[in-house]
Structure 1
Amino acid sequence: MKFKCQQNELSTAINLVTKAISSKSTLPILSGIYLETKNNKLRLIGNDLNLSIETFIEANVEIEGSIVIPARLFSELIRKLPNAEIEFEITSTNGVSIKCMDSNYKLVGLPGNEYPELPIIEDKNSFLMDRDLFSNMIRQTHFAISQDEARPVLTGALLEIDKERFNMVAIDGFRMAIKKAIVKTDLSRKAVVPGRTLSEIGKIISQMDEKGDLRISFDENQVLFSFASLKVYSRLLAGEFINYNQILPSEFKSNARLDTDEFLTAIDRSFLMARENKNIAVKLEVKDDYIMISSNSEMGSSAEKVSIKLEGPDLDIGFNPKYLMDALKVIDSEHIKIEFINNVSPCVITPEDSDTYIYLVLPCRISK
């Protein structure tokens, strides 16, 4: 194996694939990055058996081959080399020579033929969608994915495709976030994708300069997210996801319309006081033309009004302020609608000008 490539391109590729490498792996070969040269391309893979990331860069290949190089050392070395051409060569059994300008390094790798093969996922169960739209779906739901390993299926988000309707749903037992989109497909499928996978894809998309479509492909146990020169493979979570439609209330008694940013900043300020309490909560007194937001702790208290337009009866209700802020930060609409049943039932927050986002949150007790 012998090839040459550019330092900046290799460093970028390494940064991508290392997102799939776990420091806790019990298999030594999975702590490394797989490199393979073929047809003047360098293929790089990071893999922890649950998440795999594969990418390609241009290379001047003299001798084809493969090897696995320890990820942490390799990543740091390449990052610190000058932005110039790098020459790689396997000099002995699993020995790698790396040359860049006047620098010369030798590393010890592992045999490439012992690295796990990536799954083969066919395109027949796949569809295309705009990558920025998918990234936004992740942004508006990921915070509601459960961190509780006691309910593994809720540590992922449900991807639900029904013909042209595509929904992403996250539930953690205290709140639920639903983002809806329209895609061009005849596919009908439900799959639960791990939160870690979606988080990494969101980061990857945000780092990409080019625009374009993302292809999402499924088989029985895996999902593949394909970009132009990058593929992300992930195991799907087993188990039956909660029937989220049964959780959504069918009718409400009150609804309030208000300014999103004004409400967010008021909740944020109230959170300063509420977080001094062990039981974090803010009280909302929903009146005819305003919401009084208040909080109390041993350090003091706060109260401020936000103007609203209310339809229905007044009520007093308490919430964990973080749960409100998480949703308000990702709602892109200038105004929101909050719908209430009573002070012990979940409320629903939606953008006033769109039906593509739904956020349900449970209230909490407030001290008298």
Structure 2
Amino acid sequence: MRLSCLQENLAKGLNIVGRAAASRSTLPITTNVLLATDEGRLKLSATNLEMAVTCWLGAKVEEDGATTVPAKLMTEFVGSLPSDKVDMILTANKTLTLKCGRFEARMTGVDAKDFPPVPRVEGGVTAKVDVSEFKKGVSRVVFAAATDESRPVLTGIDAQFEGSVLTLAAADGFRLAVYKMALAEPVAQKVKAIIPSKTLAEVSRLIADADEAISITVDTQKSQILFKLKNVELVSQLLQGSFPQYSQIIPQSHTTRVVLDVPQFLRAARAAQIFARDGGGIVRLIMTPGSGKTPGRLSITARSEEIGDDQAELDAAVSGEEAKIAFNGKYLLDVLSVLTEDQVALEVTGPSSPGVIRPVGTDNYIHVVMPMFVQW
């Protein structure tokens, strides 16, 4: 193998695929990155056997070939090089030589034949989604997935492709986030899949600079999903099992509705969480309707027996009766931090019923938080 490419392109490509390489593995070659020539381009691939990322770079290929080298070593070395042309030569003894300006390194490679094949997803149902909308949807649900492996399906995101709509949902037993987005064109048939939350977080990172539509192919027969961009592909295994029927969890009515400015609510929640951290995470909310010229208000308090307490009062549009509810402060912060709308509505029925958070002005996102039972 003999080729050359630009350092900045190589560094960017290695950063794209490098996170898919296994950090520790019973199969040592999965800590490597595959470098191979492919129709006049350089192909980079990495996999941890659950997820594989492939990226293609423009390169001047003089001699075809393939090898694998340690992903971390390659990424760190290329990242330290000057912005110049990088020459790569693979010798007969499997040593990869890299030259860039006055820098030169040799890395011991492992035969590319031993690298696990990247799965090909060719069957199934394909959908296209606007990149910015997909990134927004992922950001609003991914944090609500469980990190505890005791119920593996809850560590994933439930994805339903139906008609012209993609619905993403995540739940960890304490909260539920549901986001609906439009597909570029209707899917041929309804399909459901549980995508690992780590996969979606990685896809969201990959599309940070992309501006074209992202193509998603779900193959339920092979239990695989493919995310495809212009020069990047990510293939992941799907999670097996049945996702809970979450529509039954979403309250259909409320007795009190509070509308607040998102930045003010977020600031007050952040302040309360400082004290709540040492007080079991409890943040208490009391909603009081206005009367006459007096506006309604929301009182947010948190208390720790050891360090003290905090209270904030916010003007709010409160409709319905006076109400109080307590939440885990972290859950409140998580959802408020991802909202980009100016206002948010909080709907409650009582201190022992779930609270519902919805952005004002859109009806495609809903967040349900279970209450904490506290002494008032």
Query: Where on the TM-score scale, by shorter chain, does this alignment land: which range?
Result: over 0.9
Q: Does structure 1 residue 276 correspond to structure 2 residue 284?
A: no
Corresponding residue for residue 198 of structure 2:
196
**1:237 alignment partner, one of 214, 236, 239:** 239
> Quick check: 1:38–1:61 contact (8 Å CA) kept in 2?
no
Corresponding residue for residue 338 of structure 1:
346
Q: TM-score, normalised by structure 1?
A: 0.96
2:91 match: secondary structure: strand
> Quick check: 2:357–2:366 contact (8 Å CA) kept in 1?
yes
**Shift of residue 44, structure 1, vs aligned partner:** 0.4
> Quick check: 1:17–1:53 contact (8 Å CA) kept in 2?
yes
CA offsets 1:111-164 (integer angstroms, 9 cap, x no match) = 111211111212651011111111111111111010010011111111111111
> Quick check: 1:281–1:365 contact (8 Å CA) kept in 2?
no
Separation of aligned partners in 1, 2:106 and 2:265: 58
Q: Does structure 1 residue 285 correspond to structure 2 residue 293?
A: no
Separation of aligned partners in 2, 1:137 and 1:251: 25
Separation of aligned partners in 1, 2:367 and 2:230: 33
> Quick check: 1:2–1:88 contact (8 Å CA) kept in 2?
yes
Corresponding residue for residue 352 of structure 1:
360
> Quick check: 1:282–1:366 contact (8 Å CA) kept in 2?
no
CA offsets 1:93-117 (integer angstroms, 9 cap, x no match) = 3221222223332211011112111
Q: TM-score, normalised by structure 2?
A: 0.94
Equivalent residues in 2 for 1:4-43, closer than 5 Å: 4-43=4-43
1:141 match: secondary structure: helix
Q: Does structure 1 residue 294 correspond to structure 2 residue 301?
A: yes
1:8 match: secondary structure: helix
Separation of aligned partners in 2, 1:261 and 1:150: 35
Separation of aligned partners in 2, 1:30 and 1:273: 44
Matching residue's letter, 1:339: E
> Quick check: 1:137–1:179 contact (8 Å CA) kept in 2?
yes
Corresponding residue for residue 143 of structure 1:
143
2:207 match: secondary structure: helix
Matching residue's letter, 1:267: A
Separation of aligned partners in 2, 1:323 and 1:38: 46
The 4+ residue runs of structure 1 with deviation greater than 4 A are none
For these two proteins, the number of residue pairs brought into alignment is: 365
Unaligned runs of 5+ in 1: none
Separation of aligned partners in 2, 1:89 and 1:306: 65
Corresponding residue for residue 249 of structure 1:
251
Aligned sequence identity (%):
30
> Quick check: 2:359–2:365 contact (8 Å CA) kept in 1?
yes
> Quick check: 2:266–2:336 contact (8 Å CA) kept in 1?
yes
Greater mean alpha carbon deviation, residues 90-99 or residues 105-114: 90-99
